[in-house]
Amino acid sequence: MNNEAVLLTGALAIDESGERRLDVRVRDGVITEVGDALVVGDEDHLDISGCLLAPGFVDLHTHLREPGMPEAETIETGSRAAALGGYTAVVAMPNTDPTQDCVEVVEFVAKRGREVGLCDVRPSGSITVGRAGQQLTPIADLAAVGVHLFTDDGSGVQDEGLMRRALEYAGELGVVLAQHCEVASLTAGAVMHEGECCSHLGLPGWPALAEELMVHRDIELSRLTGSPVHLLHLSTARSVELVRAAKAEGLLVTAEATPHHISLNDERLSSFDTRYKVNPPLRTLADIEAVKAGLIDGTIDAIATDHAPHPSAAKDRPLDEAPPGMLGLETALGVARAHLDCSWQHLIGAMSWRPAKIAGLSDSQGRPIAVGEPANLVVIDPDVEWQVDPIALASRSSNTPFIGVDLKAKVRHTMFQGRVVVRDGKATA
Amino acid sequence: MTSHFRSIAEAGTERIHRLLDLTDHMAAVGRRPNPKVPALRGKTVCNLFFEDSTRTRMSFDLAAKRLSADTMTLAVSSSSVNKGESLRDTIETLDAMGVDAFVVRHRTSGVPWQVAQWSPAAVINAGDGWHAHPTQALLDAYTIRQRRGMTNDFTGLKVAIVGDIRHSRVARSTTEILLMLGAEVTHVAPRTLLPPTSQLPTTANLDEVIAEVDVLYMLRMQRERMGAGIVPDGGEYSRRFALDERRASALRNDALLMHPGPINRGVEMMVDPTELSQSTILDQVTNGIAARMAVLFDLLGSGEIEE
């Protein structure tokens, strides 16, 4: 049981309903009192004047690497990184070893997440067995143990017929299928975005079309089946346009974008630094502008990290051998704030209540700051400028290109189920 | 900061001009009865060849030896490198032995830049992926200058580079140096063998340009590209893009016929180039040693070639 009592005073509280100055008292994991001048008692008192108080962030796209790759990350180190980034819930991607394609593996991940207790670890399930794109996983059995988001992330479901049936099957279960949009036949051997820079560097290209074709296909399959589809890590201008048009028609399409796809372009690969190798690849400046516009106008619902830890032994290899991916959890807020010109409420919405709804977590995450609500909260220093200290990263890996980069806004405290799991920017456990 | 020689653009115009002049000097050294000079005595050059390349490796090795450097060679196909050891481990281990320069060949673009991150030694790019092969570019430019009796100003020189531009580091680097020196370069290839984007004039019709060019640069066409959905199999590539008797006779007498070697006879070359007066192919091999001596001396030498 959580019997910790905490009083948060002086902050500007921001939730889906708006913003107002508010003191908040928390006991046993629940908000017990709110007001504009609560009396300080004998509880843990955090003076957070000048800060923002918001519902904790929800990451739709985290690779925790456990089971299978403890040298990259574990549920414990990834949960700690999440808490430091202000996240109170993460959806764990299924490309573990073994794959999260059966009840035993997803229950292991969920149980380990509860034991660690630093954030809500919600395993996703794969759409196909072993993410091999051949055979459906037991989607109903997985849904029955709490899996809400299904994806073969790391690769897209290539077979249109199979994807159609998966959507039909999943639709009546109330779960959501999420697609890694990549037509594999167009990206064989690809290392970076196909364009001018890749032509110059002589690296095999990943054309924007490979994403857009599958975005288009899945929008049409969603129309056909009436089932929702969530599009992972959109990276191109045309993808954003396709989603915008689909939403205008009222189709059940949601989408996310990563902090790195709104901040870094393909020319970063000119350094041949493997930290810039991600999938989908870093795109052009025009794509960055379009993805940002999509996030600002709500075409793209959520900012998701695609936190993808890799040990240096894996990244210190030639570009074609180095695995794609970069860290994201601990830098997401700072990168997003530095690159997105929108209100705090809109930005926090893209990191909290909107992804909570997509992940099926809106009963416990992204909640209003009000009496009776679960105390999953983040306290943000809105104006602090900071740089990543590579030594201080909680993640077991350090593959982030944001070291030495000026970031804006930082997580000061994170509260998960009423417990302060991050205090003054440091994990408490 | 350590200096490297990894791409033509990175070297810059001034250095390329200096290297061309230095190559000319090294070529003269090479014509002496005793072509060896003590310029790099006590320096250690490590040839790191992660991809098969007998010719370039031997050329670098001989260039270093003619400058009296000590050489060591690690020639491995990258797939055979111990799976537990990263590229970085390999570099750091060799670096600890005391290396002044790494000569790096790798099937992947960018490896020479990565090597320079992990070692303070000078890095010479001996070919990385489809990206760059700057010593080939240097020897190509020098060969043109030598055969045509030119200066380093190539203004007005018309060059056609023919073949698999997309997958060719030679095409990228040689194009870069020729443009830097003022030449006009046209790429001749089917769309599938061109880079995804290009700012240069391109054509898929070799016959349209062959009679006009001062330099016809034929690239090696790898057989595995044919029949793999990149170009059709069954001789169509050769019919469209190979140098055959008819095209050879269209070539001007004062034009140059270049090829980086090794030639794929019966694919891009249907005639025997050694029978064509325009061919520079053996000059390119000879000049390769001088160009590599120039690069090594420029990076590691102390200013004086002779004792």
The pTM (predicted TM-score) of the whole model is 0.96
pLDDT bucket at B2, cuts 50 / 70 / 90: low
Domain ranges of chain B: 8-132+286-300, 135-280
B87, closest residue in chain A (CA to CA): A317
pLDDT at position A2 is: 46
Catalytic, out of B36, B41, B55, B252: B55
Between chain A and chain B, the number of residue pairs with CB atoms below 8 A apart is 68
Q: Which fold has domain A5-53+370-427?
A: Urease, subunit C; domain 1 (2.30.40)
Q: Does B71 touch chain A (CB under 8 A)?
A: no
* Nearest Cβ partner for A195 among B118, B167, B197: B197
Chain A partners of B195 at a C-beta cutoff of 8 Å?
Answer: 198-200, 202
Distance CA B289, CA A161 (A): 59
State the sign of the Cα–Cα–Cα–Cα dihedral A407, A413, A415, A420: positive
Chain A partners of B78 at a C-beta cutoff of 8 Å?
Answer: 318
Burial A107-125 (b: 16+ CB within 10 A, else e): bbbbebbeebbbbbbbbbb
Distance CA A80, CA A428 (A): 9
- Please name which of A328, A334, A255 lies closest in space to residue A293, comparing C-alpha atoms: A255
Distance CA B284, CA A93 (A): 54
CATH of B135-280, picked from 3.40.50.1370, 3.30.70.20, 1.10.3720.10, 3.40.50.300, is 3.40.50.1370
Chain B partners of A203 at a C-beta cutoff of 8 Å?
Answer: 109-110, 129-131
Place of tokens 């030498």: B301
Residues shown for chain B: 307
Q: Is A177 exposed, middle or buried (0-12, 13-18, 19+ CB in 10 A)?
A: buried
Chain A partners of B172 at a C-beta cutoff of 8 Å?
Answer: 200, 202
Mean pLDDT of B246-251: 97
Q: Which B residues, 248 through 307, put their C-beta within 8 Å of a C-beta on chain A?
A: none
- CATH 3.20.20.140 boundaries in chain A: 54-358
Distance CA B135, CA B236 (A): 32
pLDDT at position B125 is: 98
Tens digits of residue pLDDT in A285-328: 999 999 999 999 999 999 999 999 999 999 999 999 999 999 99
Mutate to test the interface with B, among A317, A321, A398, A399 (most CBs of B within 10 A): A317
pLDDT at position A4 is: 79
Distance CA A343, CA A321 (A): 41
Q: Is the pLDDT of residue B78 over 70?
A: no
* Nearest Cβ partner for B87 among A196, A198, A318: A318
B197, closest residue in chain A (CA to CA): A196
pLDDT bucket at B53, cuts 50 / 70 / 90: confident
- CATH 2.30.40.10 boundaries in chain A: 5-53+370-427
Mutate to test the interface with A, among B76, B108, B175, B187 (most CBs of A within 10 A): B108
- Is B259 a known active-site residue? no
Distance CA B64, CA B37 (A): 10
Q: Across the interface, do A316 and B114 touch by the CB < 8 Å criterion?
A: yes
pLDDT at position A1 is: 40
Instruction: Give the largest Cα separation in chain A, rounded.
Output: 66
Pair A294, A240: CB distance under 8 Å:
yes
Q: What is the DSSP string of B201-234?
A: -EES-HHHHTTT-SEEEEPP--GGGBTTTSB-TT
What three-state secondary structure class fits B283?
helix
Tens digits of residue pLDDT in B180-210: 999 999 999 999 999 999 999 999 999 999 9
Q: Across the interface, do A195 and B87 touch by the CB < 8 Å criterion?
A: no
Helix (H) or strand (E) run with residue B18 in it: helix B13-30
Q: Does B219 touch chain A (CB under 8 A)?
A: no
DSSP class of residue A136 equals B
- Is B191 a known active-site residue? no
The one-letter amino acid at B282:
L
Distance CA A132, CA B290 (A): 53
* Nearest Cβ partner for B131 among A195, A201, A274: A201
Q: Across the interface, do B172 and A200 touch by the CB < 8 Å criterion?
A: yes
Cis ω for the linkage preceding A324 (within 30 of 0): no
Catalytic, out of A306, A316, A320, A406: A306
What three-state secondary structure class fits A182?
coil
Q: Across the interface, do B197 and A319 touch by the CB < 8 Å criterion?
A: no
Q: Does B106 touch chain A (CB under 8 A)?
A: yes
- Please name which of A35, A46, A58, A127 lies closest in space to residue A361, comparing C-alpha atoms: A58
Is there a shared CATH topology between the B8-132+286-300 domain and the B135-280 domain? yes
pLDDT at position A3 is: 56
Pair A372, A26: CB distance under 8 Å:
no
pLDDT bucket at B306, cuts 50 / 70 / 90: confident
Chain A partners of B118 at a C-beta cutoff of 8 Å?
Answer: 316
Q: Does B93 touch chain A (CB under 8 A)?
A: no
Chain B partners of A271 at a C-beta cutoff of 8 Å?
Answer: 113
Counting as low any pLDDT under 70, the low residues of chain A are 1-3
Distance CA B137, CA B142 (A): 8
Q: Which fold has domain B8-132+286-300?
A: Rossmann fold (3.40.50)
Q: Superfamily assignment of A54-358 in CATH?
A: Metal-dependent hydrolases (3.20.20.140)
- Please name which of B9, B252, B47, B156 lies closest in space to residue A202, comparing C-alpha atoms: B9
Q: Does B49 touch chain A (CB under 8 A)?
A: no
Residue A184's CB is within 10 A of a number of other CB atoms, namely 13
- Is B167 a known active-site residue? no
pLDDT at position B84 is: 59
pLDDT at position B150 is: 92
Helix (H) or strand (E) run with residue B184 in it: strand B184-188
Pairing mode, strands B122-128 and B101-106: parallel
State the sign of the Cα–Cα–Cα–Cα dihedral A319, A234, A217, A90: positive
Q: Does A209 touch chain B (CB under 8 A)?
A: no
Pair A231, A239: CB distance under 8 Å:
yes
Mean pLDDT of B199-228: 92
pLDDT at position B307 is: 61
Chain A partners of B198 at a C-beta cutoff of 8 Å?
Answer: 199
Q: Phi and psi at residue A364, in whole multiples of 5°?
A: -130, -15
Q: Across the interface, do B87 and A198 touch by the CB < 8 Å criterion?
A: no
- Is B135 a known active-site residue? no
pLDDT at position B114 is: 97
